[in-house]
Chain A
Amino acid sequence: DAGVIQSPRHEVTEMGQEVTLRCKPISGHDYLFWYRQTMMRGLELLIYFNNNVPIDDSGMPEDRFSAKMPNASFSTLKIQPSEPRDSAVYFCASRDSGTGYTEAFFGQGTRLTVV
């Protein structure tokens, strides 16, 4: 397996534009997480899914952020409209609860810059 795949790797956009980040989890994993990484706040959990169903979105900063998981192999995180303070690295991670471990596997991240 190629691991968790995120696209794009880098995104530069203007304030007010819509941004969509994409994630393909490891095949067979039933949990998917979206994290945001900044210098100030470290690694924050935004939202996570279990079997494609959102379980907890309390970390989503505001209504401008939304996430979907239409099937087991794909998820998106959308920011509309984007603001400069959204600039961060966004990580997707997945986990297989059937292994008995809670270890999560991370993608390479999407570095978002909003100017």
Chain B
Amino acid sequence: AQRVTQPEKLLSVFKGAPVELKCNYSYSGSPELFWYVQYSRQRLQLLLRHISRESIKGFTADLNKGETSFHLKKPFAQEEDSAMYYCALPGKGGKLIFGQGTELSVKP
């Protein structure tokens, strides 16, 4: 079954520290993975998708098929990065499956 696991509900770091939000997945075949971000009381919005191999707002994520992981990383966290982050992949029938989410808190 397709599944996304984000083991950390809350991650707290200081400004300027490196950040890694973990995401592990279960999927048959080659997955298409996403990270979504939700700033306080706003809509979820796409942060990045693995097939684009892009860096958005300093964040990157590499798909590791051996470890079935898609961790989100940023070398130097900023206070404005504080938000809820969701990892997601497509499920059967065209739906999008989300992990439980990780709340990132960046302290000054």
A residues near B, CB below 8 A?
A: 3-4, 31, 33, 35, 41-43, 45, 48, 50, 55-56, 91, 93, 95, 97, 101-104, 106-109
Partner of A103, one of B46, B95, B99, B101: B46
Q: Is the CB of A91 within 8 A of B46?
A: no
Given A102-B32, A103-B49, A108-B42, CB of A33 within 8 Å of CB of B101: no
Contact A56 B43 (CB under 8 A): no
Does B59 lie at the interface of the complex (its beta carbon under 8 Å from any beta carbon of A)? no
Alpha-carbon distance A35/B86, docked complex (angstroms): 13
27 A–B contact pairs at CB < 8 A? A4-B43, A31-B94, A31-B95, A33-B95, A33-B96, A42-B98, A42-B99, A42-B101, A43-B44, A43-B98, A45-B96, A48-B94, A50-B94, A93-B44, A95-B96, A97-B94, A101-B49, A102-B32, A102-B34, A102-B90, A103-B46, A103-B49, A104-B96, A106-B43, A106-B44, A108-B42, A108-B43
**B contacts, CB < 8 Å to A:** 32, 34, 42-46, 49, 86, 90, 93-101
Q: What is the CB-to-nearest-CB distance from B28 to chain A, in angstroms, rounded to a whole number?
A: 16
Whether the pair A55, B93 counts as a contact (CB closer than 8 A) is: yes
Q: Write out the residue numbers on chain A whose beta carbons fall within 8 Å of the beta carbon of B44.
A: 43, 91, 93, 106
Q: Which residue of B lies closest to A35 (CB)?
A: B98
How far is A95 from B44 in the complex, measured between Cα atoms in Å? 14
Measured CB to CB, the nearest residue on chain B to A101 is: B49
